[in-house]
Amino acid sequence: MDEKDREDNVGQIRALRSLGYAGPLSFEPFSPAVHTLEDPAPALADRIAFIRPRL
């Protein structure tokens, strides 16, 4: 997820939270760029850092 998020994932998270959802969220990395990462943890941390201030 980044500024080019075509799926509006942040909007989906906001909608779920507005309906009272407080459970865990999951990431499903479909991008081939993610599949080739030796260590995806930094990329995941970057995405979480992108999402948090937008909620």
Residues 6+ apart with CB under 8 A from 17: 55
User: Angle at Cα 14 formed by Cα 43 and Cα 20, nearest 5°?
Assistant: 120
Single-letter code of the amino acid located at 55: L
pLDDT at res. 2: 65
Single-letter code of the amino acid located at 21: Y
CA distance 6 to 54: 16
- pLDDT tens, position by position, 2-50: 677 778 889 999 999 999 999 999 877 777 888 899 998 998 898 889 9
